[in-house]
Amino acid sequence: MRELAEAWAGPNARARPLETRVAAWLTKAAGSVALNQLTSLAVNGVLAEWKEHYAKTTVRNMRCALARLLKVAEAAGCPHEVRDNLARVRKPGPKKATLTPPERDRLIAAAPPYLRLFILLLSDCAMRFTDAASVRPRDWNPQNHTITWTIKKTDTQLQLPASPAIEQLFALAPDPDDRDTPFIWKLKGTRLTSHTLRDHLATLVKKLGMPPAITPHDFRRLAVNSLYDLTKNLPACQQLLGHASLATTALYLQARDPANLRPLLDQLLSWNPAQGEKTQ
C-alpha cells in the first residue's frame, strides 16, 4: 500500500500537497493490510477523521483525491466496492465574511501589541492563525520588507510583503539576537499556542461587544476579498491564500461575485481533470 500511495502522490511531494496528504492518511489506515483486504470501514474511517481535523471544503477536495487513489489501487487488487461505498461529502455552501474593515480596525486599535500583530498577520498577509502564531525574526527580511514562511497545512513556502504596521511591531520585539522565538511570544513575554491566541481574540471581540462569530479565519477571508475586489484575479487570490485547490479559493469568494464564480466553482468541484471524468 505504501509503495502504491507514494507512487501515486508523485516524486515531487511538495508540489502535490493534497495528494501527498491523502496518500499518507490512507497508508496509515491500511497499516500492514494487503490491498486486496482493504475494507470500506477502514477507508470511511479516514474520511470521518478528516471531518474532525479539516474544513468542509478541504474534506471534499481530499475525498475526491481519495477516490482517484482508490481507482488506481483497484488495478493492484483493491476491491471495487471500497471506492463504490466511499461516503459522500456534501458540497460546501458559500462562506460569507462576517468581518468588516471598520470592525477589523476597531480590533486592531484596542488590541495589545502581541494580539495586534496576530491580527495584522491574519489580515495583511492572509495567514492561517497557526502560521501567524509562529512567525519568527528569521522569517523577516527588513531590507526587502518581506516575510517568508512555510505554510504548515501544505508544507509549502510563501513570501509576502510586510506592511509598515507589521514591521513596527517586529521592531518592538525584545532580544533581536534571538531569531527563533516567535515575535508574538516576545511581545507577550511568554509562550502562546495558536489556540490560546484564538481565545484571546475571542475575549477581545466579546469585550468590544462585537459579533461573537468573528474568528481568526475571517481576517484571512477579508484580506482575499479585498484582493479580489481590486484584481478579479482568482489565481492571485489562490497564491495569497496558499491553497492547493483553486476550488477552495473560488468557494471563499463565491459570495463576492456569484455570477462569475458560482458556475466556475460547480465545474471545479465536479470535474476531475486527472481522470477526465465527473467525480461523485
| More confident of the two residues 89 and 11 | 89
**Does one domain contain both 157 and 176?**
yes
Are 22 and 151 in a shared domain? no
Q: What is the pTM of this model?
A: 0.69
Residue 275's pLDDT band, with cuts at 50, 70 and 90, is very low
143-162 pLDDT, tens digit per residue, is 999 999 988 877 788 999 99
Q: Does residue 151 sit in helix, strand or coil?
A: strand
Report the pLDDT averaged over residues 116-130: 95
Q: Is 158 helix (H, G, I), strand (E, B) or coil?
A: strand
pLDDT bucket at 60, cuts 50 / 70 / 90: confident
**159 φ/ψ angles, rounded to the nearest 5 degrees:** -125, 130
| 116 and 211 within one domain | yes
Letter string b/e over residues 158-179, b meaning 16 or more CB atoms within 10 A of that residue's CB: bebebbeebbebbeebeeeeee
- Do 127 and 216 share a domain, yes or no? yes
pLDDT at residue 200 in the model: 96
Quick one: 244 and 105 in the same domain? yes
Domain assignment of residue 270, yes or no: no
Average pLDDT over residues 135-148: 96
Report the pLDDT averaged over residues 15-33. Answer: 74
Neighbouring CB atoms inside 10 A of 13's CB total 15
Domain of residue 45, residue span: 2-90
* Domains in the chain, number: 2
Amino acid of residue 123: S
Is residue 261 in a domain?
Answer: no
The confidence band for 26, taking pLDDT boundaries of 50, 70 and 90, is confident
DSSP code for 273: T
- Say if residue 122's pLDDT is above 90: yes
CA distance 79 to 180: 49
* Residue ending a domain, choose from 59, 90, 121: 90
